[in-house]
Amino acid sequence: MSTVGFLYPGFSAEDDYPRAEKLLIDRSRLALVHTEMPEDAHREDALLAIGGDEVLADGARRVAAEAGPLDAVVWACTSGSFIFGPDGAARQIAALERVSGVPTSSTSFAFVDACRRLGIRSVAVGATYPPDVAGAFVHFLTHHDISVHTLSARDIITAAEVGTLPPETVLEFAAAVATDAPGADAVLLPDTALHTVEVLDALDARVGRPVLTANQVSIWQGLRLAGADVDRPGLGTLFRRG
């Protein structure tokens, strides 16, 4: 049994984490705290603010105080990590790891590691973000040798609005993204504000290839870093071993 601490900005799809925890048959714990979000906006200045070192350090200290000893920590925000650029995102996690004292990552790096685990070299991205922010995610992926076939950006400004999208809308969005990129190995949905845990297997089935979502890869990364990387049904292709 492992305990992973998640730092989650604001309020939108944080209930994906207790939903996922119920599927973890080894009783691993997914402990979550909400980090400061002065402004809910998918805009560069707002995203840089929520991903600041002091904001994340405060979150790491609080989740450790509330959950007890941790085996790993994840900054569960894609845009609040890749917006710093590849080098800045790496520095962000290095600073957070010095505070947490345990293996630490972010959702942006979780996407890269998940693609490597599955042998995914080319992707289609379905982003809820405005085009400029979505483009920064594409840059992050290509820096890490992941080819982006197509990018679809829904231009939703707030995480709160993203969190209201119903499951069928998520399924339809992923299917449309996949249709536009028949040569891509997988579809990526890179927003932790998007509810996806309840439809992970359905997403893979609808699209016919792996669909990686932000909360899914965050949870997988945390468990992997904690040494609890085992086969877990109900959480999509990424969690199935062999």
The per-residue pLDDT for range 132-156, each reduced to its tens digit, is 999 999 999 999 999 999 999 999 9
CB neighbour class for 180 (10 Å; exposed up to 12, middle 13-18, buried from 19): middle
Q: Check: CATH 3.30.360.10 for 114-213?
A: no
Which DSSP state fits 239? Answer: G
Alpha-carbon span 191 to 128, nearest angstrom = 7
Question: Quick check: 241 pLDDT over 80?
Answer: no
The average pLDDT across 171-195 equals 97
Any idea which architecture 3-109+216-239 has in CATH?
3-Layer(aba) Sandwich (3.40)
Give yes or no on whether 3-109+216-239 and 114-213 have one common fold. Answer: yes
Q: Break the chain into its structural domains and give their ranges.
A: 3-109+216-239, 114-213
**Residue pLDDT, tens place only, 18-75:** 999 999 988 899 999 999 999 999 999 999 999 999 999 999 999 999 999 999 999 9
